[in-house]
Amino acid sequence: MLKILVASSKGGCGKTTIATNLAAYYAQDGKNTVLVDTDRQGSSQRWCEKRVGYGSPVLPISGTRHGWAGRIPPDTQRIVVDAPAGIRVGELAELIEDVHALVIPVLPSRIDLEASEAFLAEVAELPRIKRGKVAVGLVANRLKPWTTAAQQAVDEIKRLPFPLVAQLRDTQGYVLMTGLGKSIFDYHSEVIRSHQEDWEKLIRWLKKVG
């Protein structure tokens, strides 16, 4: 059972978008998938509820109260945990106790990069991460790769203490799909396939972890 935590110290970084799309990918791949929503806003849980009736459903579990791990079905193959918005390192330490991978989205702006530097320095000191028990990967999110600013931001992200495992381009498609309970992996048009390719490195990295 592969368990993935998606978390960031910054709100609005696309954390829930990454969590829901990862869950949809695994469900499409035939894996029994659970999406645990520990954010009180409940966005991931609502996404799962909208997805009911599709050919690849994702089971939602609220993680806002203690004991949620006991509600995960024994035949679950993939668990994606959507962390609370603006999580602090102390809260993160509790959530990574039994996860295999921590995915941290980073936006390509000066404010976000500076905030990420401090957060990641603290994350690197967490005992389970220092011991190599949890793999940590960064995702550069909402990139406009045709701009110089985005290219410079990617170069800066690569200097952060954890590897850059994916670069996801900015598109309003994610917003529209999330509102429908769908994902980038539920469509097969040529335009969408080009965005699916952005996820390949992240998927391969997670396969190595699991």
pTM of the predicted structure, to 2 decimals = 0.92
**Residue 6's pLDDT is what?**
96
| Structural domain of 168 | 2-209
CATH number of the domain encompassing residue 38: 3.40.50.300
Count of structural domains, the chain: 1
Rounded to a whole number of angstroms, the distance between the first and last alpha carbons of the chain is 8
> Of 29, 31, 192, 20, whose CA–CA distance to 103 is shortest?
20
Q: For 81-127, how does the pLDDT look when each residue is reduced to its tens digit (9 = 90+)?
A: 999 888 888 888 888 888 999 999 998 887 888 888 889 999 999 99
Q: For 142-178, how does the pLDDT look when each residue is reduced to its tens digit (9 = 90+)?
A: 888 778 877 888 888 888 889 999 999 888 778 778 8
Q: For 11-61, how does the pLDDT look when each residue is reduced to its tens digit (9 = 90+)?
A: 778 899 999 999 999 999 999 999 999 988 888 999 999 988 888 899 999
**Residue 157's pLDDT is what?**
86
**Residue 129's pLDDT is what?**
93
**Residue 24's pLDDT is what?**
94
